[in-house]
């Protein structure tokens, strides 16, 4: 998923838990322009959160950062 924001949602978290229970791997973008915080839904512990990197495999300057980041992937601009 490439969506998100700073606010937690019970309804979204409930749907993510249902998906995970069915064996679906939920992946979400960590966010952009908020360097100190991973946005929701990527911030839920059930979600694989992906931060942006450059094609040189370095951290993209505008990518969100935080402890819940699982991996990075090159940003496509």
Per-residue pLDDT reduced to its tens digit, 11-70: 999 999 999 999 999 999 999 888 788 999 999 999 999 999 998 888 889 999 888 899
C-alpha dist (Å) from residue 47 to 27, 61, 70: 6, 23, 9
CA distance 7 to 10: 10
The model carries a pTM of 0.83
Look-up of token digits 């694989």: 48
74 pLDDT higher than 90: no
Closest CA to 2 of 45, 37, 52: 52
């Amino acid at each position: 998923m490439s969506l998100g924001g700073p606010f937690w949602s019970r309804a979204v978290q409930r749907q993510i838990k249902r998906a995970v229970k069915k064996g679906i791997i939920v992946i979400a973008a960590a966010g952009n322009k908020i360097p100190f915080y991973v946005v929701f839904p990527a911030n839920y512990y059930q979600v694989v959160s992906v931060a942006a990197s450059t094609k040189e495999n370095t951290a993209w300057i505008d990518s969100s950062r935080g402890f819940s980041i699982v991996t990075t992937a090159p940003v496509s601009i």
